[in-house]
Structure 1
Amino acid sequence: MDDQRARAGGDVVLTRIGQAVMLHRGGDREEARNRLARLWAEIGPDGDPFHRCTLAHYLADTQDDPADELDWDLTALETARQAKAARAAGRDGERQAPSGRSVPAVAALLPSLHLSLAADYAAMDRPGEARAELDRARRTAAPLADDEYGRGVRQAIERLGARIAGSGEDGGGGEADGRGGAGAGDTGDTGGPRGAGGTDDAGGGGGQSP
């Protein structure tokens, strides 16, 4: 995720996301949630796809209700899909595509987005959907470089997979901690909840439109 780190250095939006993430990791979940929500409203539906995807990804982790967390994770995935579709349409002259840098950055988040959804479903005792998202996370993680981000995502996928398998053998669900970091502030961090890991291509559903 070196490209994400470079973007964060001169990107005010990513800097603000990173500041909110630091607040959350410091224990102030409510203030982090409020800051991210204000930034989401400022950016609006036509904002940079990478910003919107990253924001939704981290907003999910600040939610108190698991259903709200799932909605935001679905929103992050839907934003990533829209970015890919818009770029494809732009190539055909049908509509304006996102910036050239945004789409690759969003694509790099896909394994983390799917991993986060897998963790959501596992925590909600929906193992079938959790396994499906975990499979998507594995597929989309395959092209990632063998760097800190790529290794972190792959390790988190395997950890969550082991937890889901263990829960199935025990016959119970339980809470799964396979959250995935995407890039903000320390952009590209996969470790630590959101932090243990998780993102795209198929799967996931609609998503809320806050």
Structure 2
Amino acid sequence: MPTAPPSPDPTMEAIGRAVVEGRTGDALSARHQLLDLWAAIGVTGDPLHRCSLAHYLADLYEDPAQALAWDVRALDAADAVTDRRVQEHHAGLHVAGFYPSLHLNLADNYRRLGSFDAATEHINAAREYAPSLPDDAYGAFLRTVLDEVAEAISRRDVTKRSSAPGPTA
């Protein structure tokens, strides 16, 4: 029996619009939009909305401490999301597929802050979840970045990666 396409989700659509705006150069406006949405969603709102919003909002901060705060929120929200909820949004998604990127972002923020033990913990967690990545360009990209961040951790390098998302310095 075919499944019905997911219903439109105005919050996910608003998050998507803000992300596009942030990626096309207006990080400040995108941040304001996402912060307004966060206030509307609330800390106990839909975990998919909280996870998605926090994950993308973190990328809009140059300061790794500010990004870290949002990446922690994203990981916490992911722990509350169910596969059923994720698949209501997109039939092919699984929560396990979120964790490589979430842990990778945490590892990179901790690395940039010089907290190499915490960075190592999260890069190892990202690698544990890496088999959940799709076998496509996105999965290949994340696997490459996992290697980049792991190498930077081993060198005790705190500089921003050239491939990092977000505003440029």
| Shorter-chain TM-score tier | 0.7 to 0.9
Say whether residues 1:123 and 2:112 are aligned partners.
Answer: yes
Q: Can you give the 5+ residue segments of structure 2 that lack an aligned partner in the other structure? A: none
- Structure with the higher helix share, 1 or 2: 2
Q: Can you give the 5+ residue segments of structure 1 that lack an aligned partner in the other structure? A: 1-5, 88-97, 180-191, 196-210
The whole-number CA distance in structure 2 between the counterparts of 1:100 and 1:124 is 32
Change (3 A) 1:48 1:178: farther
Q: Secondary structure at the match of 1:99?
A: helix
1:140-159 counterparts in 2 under 5 A? Answer: 140-159=129-148
**Offset at residue 20 of structure 1 (A):** 1.2
Change (3 A) 1:28 1:194: closer
Q: Report the counterpart of residue 159 of structure 2 in structure 1.
A: 175
Q: Secondary structure at the match of 1:125?
A: coil
1:65-144 counterparts in 2 under 5 A? Answer: 65-83=63-81, 99=85, 101=87, 105-144=94-133
Percent of pairs identical after alignment?
38
**CA RMSD of the aligned region, Å?**
2.8
Change (3 A) 1:162 1:61: same
Highest RCO, 1 vs 2 (Cα 8 Å, sep ≥ 6): 1
**Offset at residue 10 of structure 1 (A):** 3.7
**Offset at residue 56 of structure 1 (A):** 0.5
> TM-score by structure 2 length?
0.80
Report if aligned partners of 1:58, 1:194 keep a CA contact under 8 Å in 2: no
Q: Report the counterpart of residue 21 of structure 1 in structure 2.
A: 19
Report if aligned partners of 1:164, 1:176 keep a CA contact under 8 Å in 2: no
